[in-house]
Amino acid sequence: MVKLSDKPRLMWACRRGMLELDVILAPFVEHEYDGLTSVQQATFERLLECDDPDLFAWFMGHRSSEDAELQAMVAYILERNQIRNQR
């Protein structure tokens, strides 16, 4: 796994082949990533290694990841984005 420790690299990794994923991932990194624990950051970075079709299915609720940590991160990202968008 490549360590994506700096924000520009993370932002670049959030640029996916699907605009729907870009809109979910990039704002999360911009506003929430620095406040994550090191374990959460590692899970998020692992999430970025997943294929776009899987990410899309998880974020759209079509199916869940078999990896409980990844699924928890997906739920957390959706929750934080929703809270931020309500402000």
**Is the pTM here over 0.75, yes or no?**
yes
What is the C-alpha separation between 23 and 18, in angstroms, rounded? Answer: 9
Q: How does pLDDT run across 19-58, given as a tens digit for each residue?
A: 999 999 999 999 999 999 999 999 999 999 999 999 999 9
What is the C-alpha separation between 1 and 17, in angstroms, rounded? Answer: 20
**What is the DSSP code string of 15-28?**
--SSHHHHHHHHHH
Tell me which fold the domain 7-86 belongs to.
DNA polymerase; domain 1 (1.10.150)
Q: Fill in the DSSP letter of residue 38.
A: H
The ranges assigned to domains in the chain are: 7-86
